[in-house]
């Protein structure tokens, strides 16, 4: 019962934050609200029994993303969003249709937290039953991430490396040319 | 009817959040705001996946004595990867915004189109 109450409260907070982000035009406020949004979703992950995801979301989503966005704001020096010239009718239509299609799709998803849903029947019991004896790690998420799917996680590092390389190529030249201008 | 609402309200709110992010991406012209919208969209997809892995009266997927109902660990693993990939995408997008600001002097989409004489 208390779980459901916390769940609903956090969902309401998330909705308010998302709508505030659409309405507000000051970019600094938007970025701060975005950090709040990430932190609330991290809380929701804890309620939904996913502490590992909550750690990562709080550290990476609320922490690093917000810092990166603030750094961009400092570099671009544009603090105010200009109001869009065109009307909002077409985008509104698009999201209404997409949203309606998605809501229609949820009728085929088993109820929230249903223990008999297919997601809990098939591959999951194998990992729950065997992971401790096979890897020696009690946390199944860690066991799957670092042991069963170790190569996948290694591939993830390649993604981070490529992104870091891209950012350095894009911004590194900028700093160099600025130094040249100063001398 | 009430059963459907209790069983699905979580998904519906997540879809609402997803559409709020999507709307920010397609309707707002400011590039930083677009990235914030993209991030909201992404986070709601994560919430959808974790909702599917949730189990009533279960616990976190850390094996311990006295518990036999665990949340599904597989969506958690996928979303952990997705969060990290998401932050890489956002870092790259923000770096591009910095470059666009250097080249065009603005981060408003309309003004960039005006300068390019496109649209």
% residues pLDDT > 90 (chain B)? 42
User: Which residue among A144, A159, A160 places its CB closest to the CB of B73?
Assistant: A144
Tokens representing residue B46 in the block: 């994560």
Q: Let me know if residue A135 belongs to a domain.
A: no
What is the per-residue pLDDT for A15?
A: 93
Mark B64-90 as b/e (b = at least 16 C-beta within 10 Å).
Answer: eeeeeebbbbbbbbbbbbbbbbbbbeb
Q: Let me know if residue A26 belongs to a domain.
A: yes
Q: Let me know if residue A32 belongs to a domain.
A: yes
Task: DSSP letter for A120, please.
Answer: G
Q: Let me know if residue A175 belongs to a domain.
A: no
The reply to whether residue B76 touches residue A31, judged by beta carbons under 8 angstroms, is no
Tokens representing residue B33 in the block: 């705001």
Per-residue pLDDT of chain A (183 residues; tens, 9 = 90+): 788 888 889 999 999 999 999 888 899 999 999 999 999 999 999 998 889 999 999 998 889 999 999 999 998 887 777 776 667 788 889 999 999 999 998 888 888 888 888 888 888 888 888 888 888 888 888 888 888 888 888 888 999 999 999 999 988 877 666 666 665
CB B71 within 8 A of CB B60: yes
User: Which residue among A27, A98, A132 places its CB closest to the CB of B22?
Assistant: A98
Q: Let me know if residue A126 belongs to a domain.
A: no
Q: Let me know if residue A112 belongs to a domain.
A: no
A43, closest residue in chain B (CA to CA): B47
Q: Let me know if residue A48 belongs to a domain.
A: yes
d(CA A93, CA B111): 25
d(CA B74, CA B76): 5
Any CB–CB contact under 8 A between B78 and chain A? no
Any CB–CB contact under 8 A between B23 and chain A? yes
Q: Let me know if residue A36 belongs to a domain.
A: yes
Interface predicted TM-score of the whole assembly (ipTM), two decimals: 0.91
Any CB–CB contact under 8 A between B74 and chain A? yes
Domain hosting A39: range is 1-83
What is the per-residue pLDDT for A178?
A: 66
d(CA B22, CA B42): 10
The reply to whether residue B36 touches residue A21, judged by beta carbons under 8 angstroms, is yes
Tokens representing residue A31 in the block: 């970025």
pLDDT confidence of B41, banded at 50, 70, 90? very high
**Positive or negative torsion for Cα A38, A44, A49, A51:** positive
CB atoms within 10 A of CB A79: 12
Average pLDDT over residues B39-66: 89
Residue ranges and CATH numbers for the domains of chain B are 2-116 (1.10.287.3510)
Cβ pairs bridging A and B (under 8 Å):
273
d(CA A129, CA B67): 12
Nearest to B40 by CA among A88, A43, A61: A61
- Structural domain count of chain A: 1
Nearest to A175 by CA among B105, B112, B98: B98
């Amino acid at each position: 019962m208390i779980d459901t109450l916390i769940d609903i409260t956090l969902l309401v907070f998330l909705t308010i934050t998302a709508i505030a982000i659409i309405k507000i035009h000051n970019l600094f406020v938007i970025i701060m609200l975005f950090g709040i949004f990430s932190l609330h979703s991290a809380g929701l992950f804890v309620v939904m029994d996913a502490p590992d995801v909550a750690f990562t979301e709080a550290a990476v989503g609320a922490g690093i993303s917000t810092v990166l966005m603030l750094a961009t704001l400092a570099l671009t020096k544009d603090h105010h969003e200009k109001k869009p010239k065109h009307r909002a009718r077409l985008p509104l239509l698009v999201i209404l249709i997409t949203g309606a299609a998605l809501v229609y799709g949820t009728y085929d998803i088993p109820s929230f937290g249903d223990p008999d849903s297919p997601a809990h029947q098939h591959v999951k019991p194998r990992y729950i039953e065997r992971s401790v004896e096979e890897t020696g790690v009690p946390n199944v998420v860690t066991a799957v991430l670092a042991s069963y799917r170790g190569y996948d996680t290694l591939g993830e590092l390649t993604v981070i490396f490529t992104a870091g390389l891209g950012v350095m190529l894009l911004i590194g030249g900028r700093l160099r040319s600025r130094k040249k201008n100063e001398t | 009817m009430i059963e459907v609402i209790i069983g699905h309200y979580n998904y519906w709110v997540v879809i609402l959040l997803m559409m709020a992010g999507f709307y920010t991406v397609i309707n707002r012209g400011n590039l930083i705001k677009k990235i914030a919208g993209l991030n909201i969209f992404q986070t709601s997809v994560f919430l959808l996946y974790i909702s599917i892995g949730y189990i009533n009266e279960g616990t976190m997927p850390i094996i311990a004595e006295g518990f036999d109902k665990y949340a599904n660990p597989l969506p958690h693993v996928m979303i952990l990867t997705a969060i990290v990939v998401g932050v890489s995408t956002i870092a790259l997008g923000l770096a591009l915004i910095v470059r666009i600001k250097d080249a065009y002097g603005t981060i408003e989409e309309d003004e960039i189109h005006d300068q390019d004489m496109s649209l």
